[in-house]
C-alpha cells in the first residue's frame, strides 16, 4: 500500500483524527485509574495536616471522614470537620473566606465547643507579596493573634482592625488584607453560633 | 544532520525566549524566583523531548491537512500525563509546580518545535532538538528568575530543597541579609523590565562576538 497516496485521501483524515483521539483517551483513562487513588490519598493527607494546624486539642476520631455539609453564609455550602473525644464533639474546623485586595482569601478556622478560636491559617490568597502576605505564619505571626478570641471577646464593636476602631493590628501599607481576614473569622464565628446545635451533633440529645 | 548546530541553536542562537521570543506568558508568570523558573524549565523540557520524539516517530502517518489538531491533542495528553504522575508520585513537588504544569499546554514553543522541526526530522535529531530547546528555555527562566529574585527579595534559589530534595538545600542562599525587598521586581511589571534588559544584554553580547570574529577573518595572514 502506498502511504503517500493514502494520506492525501479524505477518509484518511477523519480516520487519523479518530485513532489519535482513541489512543490519547485510552492513555488518559488508564493514567487516571492508576493515579486516582494515590492522588486522593495524598490530598487527604494534606487536608489532615492543614486541619491539625488549627486544632490545638486532642481528639480520637478520623477527622477527615467525620464531615458535615451545611449551607453557610450567603448560601455557599461549607464542609465542617468535627474532632471528637469519646464521641463528644470537642472542636470543629471549617473554611471561611472573604474578598481581599486581589481576590478571595481562604482560611481554615478551628473553633472549640465554647466558640473560642483554636487557630486560623490562610490556605489560599493572592495578596501583594511583601505587603499583604504577612497573613502567612511563615512571614509574620499576626495570624496567631486570633487564638482564644470569640464573639464578644473582644466585644463585637472591636472585631475590626485598629484603623476601623477595633482590636486587631493592620500592616503598614496594607489595610484591606487584614480587614478581610478579620471579617472572615468574625463571619465564621457567627456561623458557628448560628449552627451550634447541629455542628456539635447535639440534636439527637446524645 | 548536524548535531552541534542543533545544540547551538537550541541553547543560544535560536533560544526560545531570547531569539524566538516565544513562551513569554509562562516565562513572566513563574519567574518570581529562580527555583520556580528551574522547575518550570525542567517540566517543559521533559514535555518538549517527549512530544518531539512522538511526533517525529509518527511523522509519516500524520497528513499535512490535520497535523495541527493531532499535534495539539498529543501535547495536551503528554502534559496531562506529566501532571497526573507528578501529583501521584511526587506530591510535594506537585504542590510547588502544580500551578505551572497546566501552563505548559499553552507554551507555543512546544507546538512550534513540533511543527518546524520534529515533523521533518528523524527521531534522534528531534529528541536532541527538544532537549536543547528545553534547556535553552530553562536557561532563560533561571536567568530571569535569578535576576528578579536577587533584586526583589535578596535571595537566590530559595526553597530549592522543596523542589529537588534536601540534598539541594545548599543552593539556597541569602545574598543580601536583612534586605527589605524590592516589590516591583516580584510583580509582573518587574518581569517585563528584567526581560527587556536581558534581551538587550544578549544583543550586545552577540554583536561583540560577531565584530570580533569579523576582525579575525579580515586580518591578513602575515604572521
pLDDT in tens, A98-137: 888 888 888 999 998 888 899 898 888 888 776 777 888 8
Residues in A closer than 8 angstroms to B32, CB to CB, are 129
CA distance A47 to chain B (A): 13
Show the beta-strand stretches assigned E in chain B: 155-156, 173-174
A60 and A43 co-located in one domain: no
- Mean pLDDT in residue range A164-191: 87
Closest residue in B to A130 (Cα) is B183
* Residue B132 near residue B6, CB atoms below 8 Å: yes
Q: Tell which phi-psi region holds residue B23, choosing left (phi > 0), alpha (psi between -120 and 50) or beta.
A: left
A88 and A157 co-located in one domain: yes
A62 and A154 co-located in one domain: yes
* Residue A108 near residue A51, CB atoms below 8 Å: yes
Predicted local confidence at residue B1, as pLDDT: 64
> Could you tell me which residues are beta bridge partners of residue A71?
A77
Indicate if the pLDDT at residue A28 is higher than 90. yes
Look at A21-30, A35-44, B124-133, B163-172 and tell me which has the smallest mean pLDDT: B163-172
Nearest C-alpha neighbor of B54 from the set B134, B111, B13:
B111
Position A24 confidence tier, pLDDT thresholds 50, 70, 90? very high
Is the CB of A27 less than 8 angstroms away from the CB of B66? no
- Mean pLDDT in residue range A63-69: 83
A122 and A102 co-located in one domain: yes
| pLDDT digit string, tens, across residues B98-138 | 777 888 887 888 999 999 999 999 999 999 999 999 999 99
Please give the angle made by the CA atoms of A77, A190 and A158, to the nearest 5 degrees: 140
Helix or strand holding residue A88 (H, E): strand A88-99
A78 and A46 co-located in one domain: no
The reply to whether A204 falls in a domain is no
Is the CB of A16 less than 8 angstroms away from the CB of B63? yes
The reply to whether A206 falls in a domain is no
Is the CB of B70 less than 8 angstroms away from the CB of A16? yes
The total number of structural domains in chain A stands at 2
A42 and A120 co-located in one domain: no
Predicted local confidence at residue B221, as pLDDT: 57
Predicted local confidence at residue A52, as pLDDT: 85
Indicate if the pLDDT at residue A206 is higher than 60. no
A24–chain B Cβ distance below 8 A for any pair: yes
Residues in A closer than 8 angstroms to B69, CB to CB, are 17
Predicted local confidence at residue B179, as pLDDT: 75
A44–chain B Cβ distance below 8 A for any pair: no
A30 and A111 co-located in one domain: no
Range of the domain at A103: 54-199
Residues in B closer than 8 angstroms to A46, CB to CB, are 91, 95
Burial A123-153 (b: 16+ CB within 10 A, else e): eebebbebbbbbbeeeeeebbeebeebbbee
Predicted local confidence at residue A173, as pLDDT: 75
Nearest C-alpha neighbor of B49 from the set B21, B26, B82, B20:
B82
* Of B180 and A199, more confident: A199
Is the CB of B63 less than 8 angstroms away from the CB of A8? yes
Least CB-CB distance to B66: which of A3, A16, A31? A16
Domain boundaries, chain B: 3-210
Indicate if the pLDDT at residue A168 is higher than 80. yes
| pLDDT beneath 70: ranges in chain B | 1, 162-165, 220-223
Mutate to test the interface with B, among A5, A29, A33, A35 (most CBs of B within 10 A): A35
State pTM to two decimals.
0.77
Predicted local confidence at residue B53, as pLDDT: 96
A18 and A89 co-located in one domain: no
The reply to whether A64 falls in a domain is yes
Closest residue in A to B89 (Cα) is A38
> Which 98-157 residues of chain A touch chain B by CB within 8 A?
128-131
Nearest C-alpha neighbor of B149 from the set B41, B33, B8:
B33
Write the DSSP string, A67-82: EEEEE-GGG-EEEEEE
A117 and A162 co-located in one domain: yes
The reply to whether A189 falls in a domain is yes
Is the CB of A35 less than 8 angstroms away from the CB of B85? yes
A59 and A41 co-located in one domain: no
Predicted local confidence at residue A205, as pLDDT: 45
A90 and A105 co-located in one domain: yes
Least CB-CB distance to A35: which of B61, B74, B87? B87
Least CB-CB distance to A39: which of B63, B66, B88? B88
Indicate if the pLDDT at residue A203 is higher than 70. no
Q: Quote the ipTM score.
A: 0.76
CA distance A194 to chain B (A): 35
A30–chain B Cβ distance below 8 A for any pair: no
Amino acid at each position: 500500500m502506498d502511504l503517500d497516496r493514502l494520506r492525501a485521501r479524505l477518509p484518511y483524515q477523519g480516520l487519523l483524527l479518530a485513532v489519535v483521539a482513541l489512543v490519547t483517551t485510552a492513555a488518559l483513562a488508564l493514567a487516571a485509574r492508576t493515579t486516582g487513588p494515590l492522588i486522593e490519598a495524598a490530598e487527604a493527607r494534606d487536608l489532615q495536616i492543614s486541619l491539625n494546624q488549627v486544632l490545638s486539642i486532642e481528639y480520637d476520631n478520623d477527622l477527615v471522614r467525620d464531615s458535615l455539609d451545611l449551607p453557610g453564609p450567603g448560601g455557599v455550602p461549607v464542609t465542617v470537620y468535627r474532632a471528637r473525644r469519646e464521641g463528644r464533639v470537642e472542636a470543629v474546623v471549617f473554611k471561611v473566606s472573604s474578598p481581599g485586595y486581589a481576590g478571595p482569601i481562604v482560611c481554615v478556622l478551628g473553633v472549640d465547643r465554647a466558640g473560642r478560636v483554636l487557630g486560623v491559617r490562610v490556605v489560599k490568597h493572592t495578596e501583594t507579596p511583601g505587603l499583604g502576605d504577612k497573613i502567612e505564619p511563615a512571614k509574620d505571626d499576626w495570624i496567631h493573634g486570633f487564638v482564644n478570641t470569640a464573639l464578644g471577646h473582644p466585644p463585637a464593636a472591636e472585631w475590626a482592625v485598629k484603623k476601623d476602631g477595633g482590636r486587631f493590628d493592620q500592616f503598614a501599607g496594607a489595610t484591606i488584607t487584614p480587614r478581610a481576614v478579620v471579617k472572615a473569622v468574625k463571619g465564621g464565628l457567627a456561623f458557628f453560633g448560628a449552627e451550634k446545635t447541629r455542628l456539635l451533633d447535639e440534636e439527637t440529645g446524645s | 544532520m548536524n548535531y552541534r548546530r542543533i545544540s547551538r541553536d537550541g541553547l543560544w542562537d535560536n533560544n526560545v525566549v531570547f531569539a524566538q521570543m516565544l513562551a513569554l506568558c509562562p516565562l513572566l508568570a513563574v519567574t518570581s524566583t529562580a527555583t520556580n523558573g528551574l522547575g518550570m524549565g525542567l517540566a517543559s523540557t521533559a514535555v518538549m523531548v517527549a512530544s518531539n520524539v512522538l511526533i517525529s516517530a509518527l511523522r509519516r502517518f500524520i497528513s499535512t491537512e490535520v497535523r495541527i489538531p493531532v499535534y495539539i491533542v498529543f501535547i495536551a495528553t503528554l502534559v496531562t500525563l506529566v501532571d497526573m504522575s507528578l501529583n501521584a508520585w511526587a506530591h510535594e513537588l506537585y504542590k510547588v509546580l502544580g500551578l505551572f504544569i497546566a501552563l505548559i499546554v499553552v507554551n507555543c514553543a512546544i507546538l512550534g518545535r513540533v511543527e518546524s522541526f520534529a515533523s521533518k526530522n528523524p527521531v534522534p535529531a528531534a529528541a536532541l532538538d527538544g532537549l536543547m530547546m528545553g534547556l535553552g528555555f530553562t536557561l532563560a527562566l533561571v536567568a530571569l528568575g535569578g535576576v528578579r529574585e536577587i533584586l526583589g527579595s535578596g535571595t537566590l534559589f530559595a526553597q530549592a530543597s522543596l523542589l529537588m530534595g534536601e540534598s539541594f538545600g545548599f543552593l539556597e542562599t541569602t545574598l543580601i541579609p536583612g534586605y527589605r525587598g524590592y516589590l516591583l521586581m516580584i510583580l509582573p511589571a518587574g518581569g517585563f523590565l528584567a526581560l527587556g534588559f536581558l534581551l538587550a544584554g544578549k544583543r550586545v553580547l552577540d554583536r561583540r562576538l560577531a565584530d570580533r570574529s569579523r576582525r579575525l577573518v579580515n586580518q591578513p595572514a602575515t604572521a
